[in-house]
Structure 1
Amino acid sequence: MTRLPVIDISPLRTMDDAEAVKRIAGEVGAASAEFGFFYADGHGIAEHLFARLEAASHRFFALPDAEKAEIAMAHGGTAWRGWFPLGGELTSGLPDRKEGLYLGEELAADDPRVIAGWPLHGANLWPSGVPELQQAVGAYLDAAVAAAEALMRGMALALGLPADHFERGMTRRPTLLFRVFHYPPGGKPDRFGVGEHSDYGLLTLLGQDGHGGLEVRVANGDWIAVPPKGRMLVVNIGDMFERLTRGRFRSAPHRVINASGRERLSWPLFYDPDFAASVDPLPVAGTERSLPRWDDVDLHAAGGTYGDYLLGKVGKVFPDLAAKALGD
């Protein structure tokens, strides 16, 4: 049975053992090429941060819809922050069986990116009925971003680049998007919590509760389960990393089917390029491999900035909101 590798990324956090760093970077690169997915242990996110976030998330989703709607995404403007109801997000044109809270880097009104009117940049919306959620998300997000930065050092080394290659350029000011997702139990067997898709950017760092449901499609076309392993993160490669590496790293399709009979929570951090960064390929050797995609998109035909690419994608997820907030 195919299983995803487990990688202890702690050497990439400290960078104080050259041999260990080299070995782990090699493992990260190999997993990114073969699967586009792996488990990350030693990520530095403390158990109490997961526990606080999980408890606060349950409290939020237990609120009446009318109270959650006080921070609906329609109130978030071009920052695209806030709550969406069950079925309110689309994947490949079909409604997902989940509800969620869109969050991101908390930016003040005087931040240059906000002043410039950049979409997907701004302030978060927080529920008044669960005041502890803001602190729980903030503490978790700080630790998760540090783990993402460590992983990016390993990715750079795996590609034969200096460890600080990305932080000196493409991710010096990354686009940080964070989600809190709730998958209710029940529903029709053919209803996906999230349908088949791949992620848009560089890396996704997924925290999840103990109920599972995530599946990934491997290179031979089979779907394999990605069950929780304690508090390990599930890390996956996004479309832009596949493009940047000329196909060397794989952006793998994945989906969620909540068959546990229980509520499921997950907390993905999308660690992506600077909104204004060019998405031209890196100076690395690529591969001739071209795996078919369910959406027939040619990632290697993309161009311009990451922001250009991202807005086109996000508008398909929330078309009604895109028409109002972005003028599409």
Structure 2
Amino acid sequence: MNHTSETHAALPIIDVSALITDSSAEALQTVADRIRNACRAHGFFYVSGHGVDSALIQRLEMLSRRFFALDEQEKMRWRMALGGRAWRGYFPLGGELTSGRPDWKEGLYLGTELADDHPLVLAATPVHGRNLFPDVPAFREAILQYMEAVTTLGQALMRGIALSLELPANYFESRYTADPLILFRIFNYPSQDVPKDMDVQWGVGEHTDYGLLTILLQDQIGGLQVKTPGGWTDATPVPNTFICNIGDMLERMTGGWYRSTAHRVVRNTSGTDRLSFPLFFDPNYFSRVHPIEGLPHVPDADDSASRWDKENVHAFNGIYGDYLLNKVSKVFPQLRQEVL
């Protein structure tokens, strides 16, 4: 394996169409090499050539703005407290915490739609169940179609990540993601002043993501920042792309060869509300995540001293669901008893 690392002034844009179509081994290797360099340099990269229908994206954005324009009392009809163990629904401004401090955003928590008689729902498995779909016309259909399309993209990107590590293309799917845990969020960052009695500094405070891969659609306003060795770098919106970043479980699997990079979102002062749509493509809830054999040894794999949460992801032992619940219960402490 050619273990090179590149330093980029900006986050790279990678055309991943070769992963979507029936492409040559040479074309696939070119994409894999670029993914490897991006994961080694920053853990973040844009993807173009992703195959997700632009009309679907535009429809989802339009319907999301229509939902967030409702009065808060109306939006609270779908509040997360009604979602129970499925951990779905709406939360209001300041209702989500990062490192114990409220973020200045509101949002809708969603995930794979499971019927009440699904075995995982009958077993009361946390973060599995029905969504609380607002009754904005056509919103439900747009959300489900979008999640399906981006989950398909996620499987393709994980094939590229496997190839970047010189593993079989189906390495992750055969072990962790044949039935991935899909969590989807629609966030609105309003351009309005924060009440003086609220301890708010950021749209979202510094954090890393928990699973394998985050696939983020952001609108044209921007605000996402990535922590790099040279300081915080703006992840400026690029039309017709998603921005992807690796999560804690991929760092654990690679023994720190690929890092889960900290990021944050600045408060929106643009004068226009900002939308973002992160889809978390994660291991199956019951997966036990193991290090990949044969990768280079990383002597400083334990980076807990510099991590935002001071945790050593390489010391975790258990199923992925345990790791996830430990994290999300700190984001919404008032709902903690629902899933723990």
* Matched residue type, 2:313: L
* Matched residue type, 2:83: G
Task: Indicate yes or no: 2:160 matched with 1:154.
Answer: yes
> 1:254: which partner in 2?
263
- TM alignment of 1:270-281, pairs within 5 A: 270-281=280-291
- Report deviation, 1:249: 0.7
112 and 190 in structure 1: CA distance in 2 versus 1, 3 angstrom threshold:
closer
Are the aligned partners of 1:209 and 1:265 in contact in 2 as well (CA < 8 Å)? Answer: yes
Please, which of 314, 321, 327 is the counterpart of residue 300 of structure 1? 314
Runs of 4+ in 1 over 4 A off after TM superposition: none
Are the aligned partners of 2:214 and 2:244 in contact in 1 as well (CA < 8 Å)? Answer: yes
- Report deviation, 1:274: 0.4
Unaligned runs of 5+ in 1: none
Q: Distance in 1 between matches of 2:215 and 2:249?
A: 15
- Report deviation, 1:187: 2.7
> 1:212: which partner in 2?
222
> 1:244: which partner in 2?
253
Are the aligned partners of 2:211 and 2:248 in contact in 1 as well (CA < 8 Å)? Answer: yes
* Matched residue type, 1:167: E
> 2:52: which partner in 1?
45
> 2:298: which partner in 1?
287
> 1:91: which partner in 2?
98
- Report deviation, 1:259: 3.4
- Report deviation, 1:279: 1.4
- Report deviation, 1:167: 1.1
How much is the aligned-residue C-alpha RMSD, in angstroms?
1.4
Are the aligned partners of 2:208 and 2:248 in contact in 1 as well (CA < 8 Å)? Answer: yes
Are the aligned partners of 2:289 and 2:319 in contact in 1 as well (CA < 8 Å)? Answer: yes
Please, which of 23, 26, 32 is the counterpart of residue 25 of structure 1? 32
Are the aligned partners of 1:7 and 1:28 in contact in 2 as well (CA < 8 Å)? Answer: yes
Are the aligned partners of 2:102 and 2:200 in contact in 1 as well (CA < 8 Å)? Answer: no
Q: Distance in 2 between matches of 1:110 and 1:8?
A: 41
Q: Distance in 2 between matches of 1:284 and 1:260?
A: 47
Q: Distance in 2 between matches of 1:80 and 1:90?
A: 15
Q: Distance in 1 between matches of 2:203 and 2:47?
A: 23
- Report deviation, 1:282: 1.6
Q: Distance in 1 between matches of 2:57 and 2:73?
A: 27
> 1:111: which partner in 2?
118
Count of residues paired in the alignment? 324
- Report deviation, 1:201: 0.5
Are the aligned partners of 1:5 and 1:38 in contact in 2 as well (CA < 8 Å)? Answer: yes
- Report deviation, 1:15: 3.9
Task: Indicate yes or no: 2:195 matched with 1:184.
Answer: no
> 1:137: which partner in 2?
143
- Report deviation, 1:190: 6.8
Are the aligned partners of 2:104 and 2:200 in contact in 1 as well (CA < 8 Å)? Answer: no
Report the TM-score when normalising by structure 1: 0.96
Q: Deviations over 1:250-288 (max 9, x none)?
A: 111100112322200000000000000001212231422
Please, which of 234, 238, 260 is the counterpart of residue 225 of structure 1? 234
> 1:58: which partner in 2?
65
Q: Distance in 2 between matches of 1:154 and 1:248?
A: 16
Percent of aligned positions that are identical: 50
- Report deviation, 1:301: 0.7
- TM alignment of 1:115-126, pairs within 5 A: 115-126=122-133
Q: Distance in 2 between matches of 1:62 and 1:197?
A: 28
- Report deviation, 1:303: 0.9
User: What secondary structure, in the 3-state scheme, does the structure 1 residue paired with 2:108 have?
Assistant: strand
- Report deviation, 1:153: 0.2
- Report deviation, 1:44: 0.8
Unaligned runs of 5+ in 2: 1-7
Are the aligned partners of 1:245 and 1:284 in contact in 2 as well (CA < 8 Å)? Answer: no
> 1:166: which partner in 2?
172
- Report deviation, 1:112: 2.0
Q: Deviations over 1:59-95 (max 9, x none)?
A: 0001111111111000001000000000000001100
> 1:3: which partner in 2?
10
* Matched residue type, 1:228: P
